[in-house]
């Protein structure tokens, strides 16, 4: 099977995951996951719907789960998003394709630089990648209409709850690291309200610096 066919098959797998946002589905079809992974990986790995180790003790999630988490944010083209856990920038690119502005925080300086380079090469200009502790969020850039956390936390970090805009949505895996429940929250009258239990999944722990 050619690389293009493997990529098309992955796109169909993501589509079958129940993505409702057509802009997101178009982004999935247009953005090549291989552009946001370490060099030298075989196509059978890059285009498989599975997590991939990306170095620095970090993992990029399977594309279908990435798309489901973004879809649950229900972002519009005018919205802003905060991403915790940039990795190589694949999820960041998808977010930047469907909303106005993305601020992404990565605790690893090496991974953050890889992401900046990848995003710049692909022409994404509405993204800011910050190196730092994701549990603190980005208060100077808040509020955010959507927040997606790509690492496991025992509870929702209070700064992230504070930085979510009223009527905004947050997707976060809660648990000890390794077996978590991905939950969707909404902010109503200044408080977080759980809206949906998405799925069980395995994430690396959300690290503090």
Mind telling me the catalytic residues?
61
Strands 127-131 and 101-106, by their bridges, are parallel
Helix axes 90-98, 109-121, angle to 10 degrees: 50
Residue in 106, 21, 12, 105 with CA at minimum distance from that of residue 64: 12
Dihedral of the CA atoms 153, 154, 160, 165 (nearest 10)?
Answer: 110
Sign of CA dihedral 6, 127, 80, 69: positive
8 A C-beta contact, residue 32 and residue 93: no
Q: If DSSP codes are grouped into helix, strand and coil, which group holds residue 95?
A: helix
Q: Give the integer Cα–Cα distance in Å for 85 and 204.
A: 10
Residues counted in the chain: 209
8 A C-beta contact, residue 157 and residue 137: yes
Whether the link from the prior residue into 143 is cis, omega within 30° of 0, is yes
């Amino acid at each position: 099977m050619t690389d293009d066919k493997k990529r098309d098959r992955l796109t169909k797998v993501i589509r079958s995951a129940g993505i409702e946002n057509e802009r997101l589905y178009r982004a999935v079809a247009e953005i090549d996951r291989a552009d946001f992974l370490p060099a030298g990986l075989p196509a059978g790995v890059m285009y498989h719907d599975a997590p991939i180790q990306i170095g620095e003790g970090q993992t990029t999630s399977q594309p279908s789960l990435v798309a489901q988490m973004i879809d649950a944010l229900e972002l519009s083209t005018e919205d802003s998003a905060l991403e915790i856990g940039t990795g190589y920038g694949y999820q960041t690119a998808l977010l930047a394709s469907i909303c106005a502005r993305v601020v992404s925080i990565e605790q690893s300086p090496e991974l953050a630089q890889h992401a900046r380079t990848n995003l710049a090469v692909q022409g994404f200009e509405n993204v800011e990648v910050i190196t730092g502790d994701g549990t603190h969020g980005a208060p100077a850039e808040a509020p955010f209409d959507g927040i997606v956390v790509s690492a496991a936390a025992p509870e929702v970090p209070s700064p992230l709850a504070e930085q979510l805009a009223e009527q905004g949505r947050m997707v976060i895996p809660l648990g000890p690291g390794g077996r978590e429940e991905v939950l969707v929250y909404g902010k109503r009258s200044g408080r977080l309200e759980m809206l949906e239990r998405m799925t069980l999944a395995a994430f690396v722990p959300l690290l503090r610096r």
